Amino acid sequence: MNQPQAPRESGTVYLIHLHEKMHHSQHYIGFALNVEGRLYHHRRNRGSRFLAAANERGIGYDIVRQWPGDKHLERQLKNRKKARLLCPICNKIH
């Protein structure tokens, strides 16, 4: 018997571009209801371990793209393993 799924919480999926590569990676995809609040937490090492490591190394980063969506969209984009193809800085998309 199928369990009814909980409604998905709608928010924003965001792409962060690091100013330099770290361990062969330069991007982070995340989800938040409040993107600015989430970025505040990332910058204070209260979020992604990857971004905390960037903070510790003095590597700057910015949110460079956003999509309306939910955690399902975040997972779809992460599973593609090609965040650089979505990045306007790496692809010079204007």
pLDDT band with cut points at 50, 70 and 90 for residue 21: very high
Q: Is residue 3 part of a domain?
A: no
Per the structure, the complete domain to which residue 57 belongs is given by 11-91
pLDDT mean over 53-66: 98
CA distance 46 to 88: 26
pLDDT in tens, 67-80: 999 999 999 999 99
CA distance 14 to 12: 6
Q: What are phi and psi of 64, to 5 degrees?
A: -115, -10
**Stated pTM of the model:** 0.87
pLDDT mean over 55-77: 97
Q: Is residue 5 part of a domain?
A: no
Task: Name the domain count of the chain.
Answer: 1
Closest CA to 69 of 29, 10, 17: 10
Q: Is residue 74 part of a domain?
A: yes
Question: For the chain, how long is the longest CA-to-CA vector?
Answer: 51
